[in-house]
Structure 1
Amino acid sequence: MMKQQNQPLFSLTLLLIFFSHCTKILSQAPSASPAAAPAASATPGAPTITGPVVQAPPADAPAPSGPTNITKILEKAGGYKVFIRLLKSTQVDNQLYRQLNNSNSQLTVFAPTDDAFSNLGTGTLNSLSDEQKGQLVQFHLIPDFLTIQNFQTISNPVRTQAGSGLDYPLNITTSGNSVNISSGLVNTSISGTVYSDNQIAIYQVDSVLQPYGVFSPKRQPPSPAPAPAPVLGKPKLNSSSSDSDDSDTSTTPPVAEVKSGAVPTVLPKFNGIVSIAVAVVAAAALSFS
């Protein structure tokens, strides 16, 4: 009876010892913060970064937009290979790129098609010097942004980047929605808009604008005036020279030179005998005087 009463007491003692042991183990375990981030591995010599970390942009992020590239626009449009080649060979494309990128410059471009250049004839462009090719390209550029409506109020002659004056005349007129262009050697019109924004306008033309300064025949310098004919003095003849002039067929009678105080005598030309007789008579007259 005594043994049965001690069994619950023994079991209760064991249970208390078990709970005490578990409490001790839990109190010795390190407490972990749920918000703690894993420590990054430190690189020897690397600076310590404090504050929020800015993530780098993805590798395929688009590049910032730059100034409009005229040759790229023409390449995308297609049909302007010759004009693109001229822009690049004359370095005008680089000039325009820097001009439009570093300032508030505006530009209007008349872009001839490949068919327009083929109408010039074989070898025409090759016959031009590098300077003339540059002038030809610049003649197709107006240093201003012009819409189709602006052409109705433009003043002629229009100044191009090739210059102005008699060598580079450019006149633009409108008739309804048609824009006509004349260089003096070529008449053409705008046949379409390739590109337009608030800075650049590119229009298609079906003929190459030929300026006088490149395609006109070179003016020849005026020929010098003919030199005046020399004035010949009257021949001086004496009595002895008349003997040897009988073979002269000139129609102008010679004038005989006489001594001071004598009257000059005009000797007509006869045959040799008559001339000798006249000379003897003249000499006798002088001797008596």
Structure 2
Amino acid sequence: MAATSLPLIFFTLCLLSPLTLAQTPAPTSSPSPTNLTGILDKNGQYTTFIRLLNDTQIFNQVENQLNNSNNGLTVLAPTDNAFNNLPSGTINSLTQQQKVQLCLYHILPQYYSLNDLQLVSNPVRTQATGNDGVWGLNFTGQNNQVNVTSGAVTTQISNALSQQKPLAVYQVDKVLLPEELTGGSPSTISSPAPTSSPAKANTTVSSAKEPSPAGSGACQSNMGLGLVVGLAMVCMGAVSS
């Protein structure tokens, strides 16, 4: 009986093995180091940034640059919460060209590790340009703690999503709004110095030169008194002689 059951058990196991293998999920592979869409999708919480990159066709530009350049790229990816914390209507108020500039402002035309970003010479050029030239960002930090500022917004690079050359992707918790799109920082706006009115200045000078009416009357009284005294003395001298 035992000898008969062994082949039966072996045959049953052979039948079940393909079913077991078929039900085992295949391991998920990491996205290619040049696949920006895959990197952002895998990490989640970047749906707004992904939509902007798609709408502006920046994804295609990134892919072309990675395939045709040895410099690589660095992407600063704002989270969905970063976009949600913007004032209501901020993104919708931008023109299509401004949306392109905003996306490109979050892309550096070179691969930078976190250590590189601590040693760069500021400002660091971005892919965004305007009538005044290339727009830049400033980086500061130490011990792999890096802060980035646009002048209008300052935030911290809080997570490295990918650091495999030729593409580095870092998480930022604020949207880096360039001053060129926000109208400039209030501290950079200087008011012209007030100019004095020439007419008022001339009036002031003239009034300083003219004698006061009271002073003129006193002078005339003194002259009249002196004349009377002089005549009296002349008369007295004539009488005595």
TM-score normalised by the shorter chain: which range applies?
A: 0.5 to 0.7
Q: Does the alignment pair 1:152 with 2:152?
A: no
Q: Which has the higher contact order (CA 8 A, sep 6+)?
A: 2
Asked whether the 8 Å contact 2:155–2:174 carries over to 1, the reply is: yes
Counterpart Cα distance in 2 of 1:67 and 1:100: 10
1:95–1:166 distance in 2 versus 1, CA, 3 Å: closer
Q: Is this contact kept in 1: 2:125–2:134, CA < 8 A? A: no
User: Does 2:151 correspond to 1:184?
Assistant: yes
TM-score when scaled to structure 1?
0.50
Q: Equivalent residue for 2:49?
A: 83
Residues paired across the two proteins, number: 161
**Aligned 8 A contact 2:117 2:146 in 1:** yes
Deviation for aligned residue 1:217: 5.8
State the 4+ residue runs in structure 1 displaced beyond 6 angstroms.
Answer: 164-167
Q: How does 1:55-134 map to 2 (within 5 A)?
A: 68-134=34-100
Could you list the per-position Cα deviations for residues 236-269 of structure 1 after superposition, in whole angstroms to 9, with x for gaps in the alignment? xxxxxxxxxxxxxxxxxxxxxxxxxxxxxxxxxx
Q: CA RMSD in A?
A: 3.0
CA distance in 2, matches of 1:67, 1:198: 7
CA distance in 2, matches of 1:217, 1:197: 35
Tell me if the contact between 1:67 and 1:100 (Cα under 8 Å) persists in the aligned partners: no
Query: Retained in 2: the 8 A contact 1:70–1:93?
Result: yes
For residues 66 and 81 of structure 1, what CA distance do their matches in structure 2 show?
A: 19
Query: % of aligned pairs identical?
Result: 49
Q: Which has the higher strand share?
A: 2
Cα drift, residue 174 of structure 1? 0.8
5+ residue gaps, structure 2: 1-30, 193-241
Residue 87 of structure 1 aligns to a residue in which SS? Answer: helix
Deviations 1:79-131 (A, max 9, x none): 00000001000011011111212332400110000000011122110000000
CA-CA distance at 1:151 after TM superposition: 1.5
Q: Once structures 1 and 2 are overlaid, which stretch shifts more, 144-153 or 163-172? A: 163-172
User: Aligned-pair distance for 1:176?
Assistant: 2.8
